Amino acid sequence: MTEGPISRFEWLRAKPKDEPATLPVYIAFDILELAGRDVRDRPLKQRRRMLERLMWHHSMIFPARRLADDGLKAWQEAMARGYEGIVAKDPESRYVPGRTLKWLKVKQKDYRVEERGFYDPGRR
């Protein structure tokens, strides 16, 4: 069972008719500029604190949910809530455009989790 609303990316195309409509909200994952100052060179954990302080009073803009720092616990929590997957991020990482090994997206359909960690069932 999930807690509260869950984002459904696939609903951007077409929402199932049996699901209730909700007002749209904006989920912010990062902050790159604050008060006209570029903050991309700051660590993610510092940018996250900036984002949370900025968003605390908004009713339609929210910072993305944080999961457990432990990757396996975060994965289990995401699966229990019905999320598509997780994005594992290095809290010390600076922002860089494009793909990076500091942020890794892991989707439920692509991987399974065992006590020893993640694995790709197609490449076992």
Q: Rounded to an integer, what distance in angstroms lies between the CA atom of residue 5 and that of residue 83?
A: 11
Task: Output the pLDDT for position 57.
Answer: 79
pLDDT of residue 113 exceeding 70:
no
Task: Output the pLDDT for position 123.
Answer: 55
**Domain-wise residue ranges, the chain:** 9-123
Q: Coil, strand, or helix at residue 102?
A: coil
Q: Rounded to an integer, what distance in angstroms lies between the CA atom of residue 114 and that of residue 15?
A: 33
72 Cβ contact list (under 8 Å, min separation 6):
113, 115, 117
CA distances from 32 to 21, 51, 61, 114 (A): 31, 9, 16, 36
CATH 3.30.470.30 applies to domain 9-123: yes
pLDDT of residue 73 exceeding 50:
yes
> For the chain, how many helices (H) and strands (E)?
2, 8
| Stretch 68-89: mean pLDDT | 87
CB 84 within 8 A of CB 48: no
The answer to pTM > 0.75 is no
